[in-house]
Chain A
Amino acid sequence: MIDLLYAELKRTWIQFIRYPTEVISGIVIIMAVFYGLFASAQYMAGPGFAFGDRLDAVVIGYALWTLIISVNNDIAINLQIEAETGTLEQVFLSPFGAPRVFLARAFASLALRLVILMVVLLLLMGISGSRLAFPPTLLLPLASLLLAGYGLAFLMGAAALVFKRVQQILGIFQFLLLFLLAAPLEEATGPMQYLRFLLPMLPSTGLLRDLMARGLGLDWVTYALALLNGLVYFALGMLVFRWAEATAKQRGSLSGY
């Protein structure tokens, strides 16, 4: 399994480095969209308005959104590309079994994406003047966030295996993700303060905002719930992915696109 992880890291890195313009242009687009949003919000609020803590929360929400979009689309888009280019069936011929291979792929691409996220965050802080804190405890809610994120990614991958064309769903899903990541429901009152624990990723993003923007410590009870949320969505994603693999093999549609 270590060899597999290493091989996936190497493959991901080579493909990234061989055509770096794609990634660089991706980062530039992310930055341009943020700058556009930031500048128009400032224009509407007027020159005297200060974002304060909220700016930091917005920066985190936006950066996490870009990370989770790429994590979320990762498996589905790659499944579709590989079906089109004709390597998907070779991947399914692995004695490791598809779920383990795709899990290793998820880890490999995550490593790369975290590096890109750091670059994006540093650039965003430069543009907006936001000063974010990076306490080591933030790794914990980040892990539970990624667990839920990859759970959704495997769900999307399952949809790609069974329904093939999923670009439309992925496009709409990006806006749902924006709500899940950027809405500060940890400040909500009423039933939503409890319901947020049932929605994917929401409890983890709240904790990340606490740690990085509000300068609060980690609330361990909330974190336990966030971790449970991550584990449940991850397990659900893996289960549905296995079902989708069996269904695609049953239909003989593994290589279709």
Chain B
Amino acid sequence: MQIARRPTETWTEHPSPGSIVLDTRDLSKVYGRGKQRFEAVKQVSLTLHQGEVLAFLGPNGAGKTTTIKMMAGLVRPTQGRVTVAGEDPHRQPRALRHIGAVLEGNRNLYWRLTPAENLDYFGVLRQVPRQLAHRRGLELLARFGLEEKRNTPVQKLSRGQQQKVAIAVALIHNPRLLLLDEPTLGLDVEAGEMVKALVRQIAQEGRAILLTTHQLDVAEELADRVAIIRRGRIIAEQSTEALLREFSGSTYHLEVDGELSPPQIHTVTQLGATVRGTQITYAGTPENLYALLGALSPVPLVAVQRDRADLTQVFLKLVKDQPESSP
């Protein structure tokens, strides 16, 4: 992928590093009345800092898209409040200058227009001066490796290229918050990797990114923090690393290159490990691990690995284990 210089940022001030970009408090959404009443989102409170990527995960119908749309000012919350860079998108339309969004299931672009024309148009629609929008559009196309396609109507581009143009359009006004609803859905492996690389780059520029995805490996790779929503309520929210650690076991798997001698097997077994050929499994204290390693000397080690949960296991466990309704 082509990486060009960062876009011009002379027309908008940037906040101090680590400042809060998105803040939601007790966000709730109720649809319908009486018997039709359905509480889609219940008291969701989230904060997102500059340069941070938050993966918003949940089963279908859990309330992810409704929450994202409430953040973008597209669905009005029944209760609670949203602020983006200190402004409420439901009360102050100017708050929308801070928000870029690529929404799932939407084309997000005018298919009859070319990428360059889409960028020009949406730039002005987001209140970027016309000439600056044009310049930034060209920079984004160069940066996203779409220079050659700039004059091809969007409907003739591949799905991956269209998604890249949609992300470029979402960045045309230099927003501080980027909302990505299923950004890698329907993309082939190569295009998916490209979009992931872009998301990383965009976060490094200091933007806050909130993404929803069903592809948990994508979330694990990209997200600094994870929030899991189920039936409209957040059931877990912490850093990806802490969440994985919490759900990881303390069992170690060791592999040696060659047979252990009978005295070695005896010592290793005494320390609480089990030996199967060249595979050793140990579930004791971390201190005894070093004694175990000492006992294996001088047989060469091939691998020492601690059991580590992946996000899929964590997600499934959390979503299945939670009681139907929280108190």
Residues of A whose CB lies within 8 Å of any CB of B are 3-4, 6-7, 10-11, 14-15, 18-19, 85-87, 89-97, 101, 246, 249-252, 254-255
Contact = CB atoms under 8 A, between A and B. Distances in A.
B113 A11 contact: yes
Interface pairs A-B: 10 shortest CB-CB: A86-B106, A7-B124, A86-B107, A252-B75, A95-B96, A249-B76, A94-B125, A3-B130, A97-B93, A3-B124
Given A249-B74, A251-B31, A252-B69, A10 B121 contact: yes
A4 to B, nearest CB: 6
B222 interface: no
Given A93-B74, A94-B96, A252-B31, A7 B130 contact: yes
Interface string B129-150: 1100000000000000000000
A92 B89 CA distance: 11
24 contacts: A3-B129, A3-B130, A4-B125, A7-B121, A7-B124, A10-B121, A11-B117, A18-B112, A86-B108, A87-B107, A87-B109, A89-B101, A89-B103, A90-B106, A93-B96, A93-B101, A95-B94, A97-B93, A246-B76, A249-B74, A249-B75, A251-B31, A252-B76, A255-B103
A92 B108 contact: no
B49 interface: no
A91 B72 CA distance: 12
Contacts of A19: 112
Given A4-B125, A252-B29, A95 B97 contact: yes
What class of interface size applies to chain B in its complex with A?
Answer: 35 or more
A18 B130 contact: no
Contacts of B127: 94-96
Contacts of B106: 86-87, 89-90, 255
B73 interface: yes
B110 A11 contact: yes
DSSP majority for the A interface?
A: helix
Interface of B: 29, 31, 40, 66, 69, 72-76, 93-97, 99, 101, 103, 105-113, 117, 120-122, 124-127, 129-130, 153, 169
A87 B127 CA distance: 17
A253 to B, nearest CB: 9
B101 to A, nearest CB: 6
A188 to B, nearest CB: 46
Contact of A252 (B66, B94, B105, B122): B66
Contacts of B66: 252
Contacts of A87: 106-110
B45 to A, nearest CB: 20
A6 B130 contact: yes
A18 B112 CA distance: 8
Interface centre among A18, A250, A252 (most CB of B within 10 A): A252
B74 A101 contact: no
Contacts of A92: 73-74
A136 B74 CA distance: 44
Contacts of B93: 94-97
A78 to B, nearest CB: 12
Contacts of A90: 101, 103, 106, 108-109, 122, 125, 169
A68 B265 CA distance: 92
B109 A14 contact: no
Nearest to B32: A251
Nearest to B173: A95
B104 to A, nearest CB: 10
Contacts of A95: 93-97, 126-127
A9 B237 CA distance: 46
A7 to B, nearest CB: 4
Nearest to A16: B112
A7 B120 contact: yes
B9 to A, nearest CB: 18
Given A95-B126, A96-B127, A252-B29, A89 B107 contact: no
A248 B112 CA distance: 27
A53 to B, nearest CB: 44
Contacts of A14: 112-113, 117
Given A11-B110, A93-B72, A93-B74, 13 more contacts: A3-B130, A11-B117, A15-B110, A86-B108, A89-B106, A90-B108, A94-B93, A95-B93, A95-B96, A101-B125, A246-B76, A249-B73, A254-B75
A18 B151 CA distance: 13
B177 to A, nearest CB: 12
A254 B74 contact: yes
B284 to A, nearest CB: 54
Contacts of B120: 7, 10
Nearest to B75: A252
A235 to B, nearest CB: 20
Contacts of B129: 3
A251 B95 CA distance: 21
A96 B93 CA distance: 7
